[in-house]
Amino acid sequence: MRYENEQVQDRLAAEFVLGNLRGAARSRLVTLMRRHAGLRDKVALWEERLFPLVMHAPKIKPPPRVWRAIHARIAPRSVGFGTRGWWRRLATGGFAAVALAALVYLAVAPPREPVYTMVAVLNDARAMPGIMVSWTPRQAASRKMAVRILAHPSMPPDTSWQAWLVLGPGDAPIPLGLVTTDKTQVIEVPPAAANALRGAVAIGVSVEPKGGSVTGRPGGPFVFEGTVLRVDS
């Protein structure tokens, strides 16, 4: 891999800051950062971009299963054996049946789909984050996309801000919907765009006449743009 390539550095830095690089891959990138100043700069830039998102994120109380899972990892012997009597009852005949049932379930149960979120932080011409766009596979299936305004300038009179899906350098952007000045909002994505979300490379926002583009194409350059990244849960 060409680590001097700026696009490669940007991609690796984003995955590193988002926490998607783990184990050996994360350790290797830490080592590379010592030798490549450009890579260090990219990591610092992504930290600056994503820090406002952390500050705006609402506090969520973790469900009990999270604490049980943590406890199971740090003290596995104390989980699942509430009393000695319960364990003895399994040992005297029920354990084999439970084990067999578990094996049958693992054999026939469908594999769980990976849980992840697609995220794009859209920056303005000064590389400052202004809009965050995100969706999960379930939201994509229901043609929904979450939008959070981080720093939105005033809209000129009789204009609209329109979001676009970018698939690649040679592909025409696909209209996603209009973006308002509301801090949090949900865009109802057109069917054609929803079917193309799997191949999303970037999201852009352009200034259009009120009501959106009349040509189906952006009327000018994107005023906000950002790369789409996958964040595994």
Confidence of residue 4 (pLDDT cuts 50, 70, 90): confident
CATH number for position 177: 2.60.40
Q: Are residues 80 and 155 in the same domain?
A: no
pLDDT of 1 over the 60 cut: no
Confidence of residue 206 (pLDDT cuts 50, 70, 90): very high
**What pLDDT score was predicted for residue 80?**
47
Q: Are residues 146 and 170 in the same domain?
A: yes
**What pLDDT score was predicted for residue 106?**
47
Q: For residues 162 and 208, is the Cβ–Cβ distance under 8 A? A: yes
Q: Are residues 87 and 132 in the same domain?
A: no
Q: Quick check: is 1 in a domain?
A: no
Q: Are residues 186 and 148 in the same domain?
A: yes
**What pLDDT score was predicted for residue 30?**
76
pLDDT in tens, 75-119: 655 444 444 444 454 444 544 454 444 544 445 555 555 567 888
**What pLDDT score was predicted for residue 177?**
95
Q: Are residues 69 and 127 in the same domain?
A: no
Q: For residues 133 and 182, is the Cβ–Cβ distance under 8 A? A: no
Domain boundaries, position 82? 64-108
Q: Are residues 79 and 41 in the same domain?
A: no
Between CA 217 and CA 174 the distance in angstroms is: 8
Domain-terminating residue out of 108, 142, 175: 108
In percent, how much of the chain has pLDDT > 90? 24
Q: Are residues 40 and 84 in the same domain?
A: no
Our CA angle for 109, 111, 115, nearest 5°, is 135
Q: Quick check: is 214 in a domain?
A: yes
For 94-163, the DSSP string reads IHHHHHHHHHHHHHHSPPPPPPEEEEEEEE-TTS-EEEEEEE-HHHHHTTEEEEEESS-PPPPTTEEEEE
Q: Are residues 127 and 221 in the same domain?
A: yes
Q: Are residues 120 and 220 in the same domain?
A: yes
* Number of domains comprising the chain: 3
**What pLDDT score was predicted for residue 81?**
44
127: left (phi over 0), alpha (psi -120 to 50) or beta: left
**What pLDDT score was predicted for residue 113?**
56
42 vs 4, higher pLDDT: 42
Rounded mean pLDDT of the chain?
Answer: 77
pLDDT of 152 over the 80 cut: no
Confidence of residue 17 (pLDDT cuts 50, 70, 90): confident
pLDDT in tens, 121-151: 888 888 788 888 999 888 899 999 999 888 7
Q: Quick check: is 14 in a domain?
A: yes
Q: Are residues 128 and 37 in the same domain?
A: no
Q: Quick check: is 81 in a domain?
A: yes
Q: What is the mean pLDDT of residues 21-30?
A: 76
H or E, element range at 226: strand 224-232
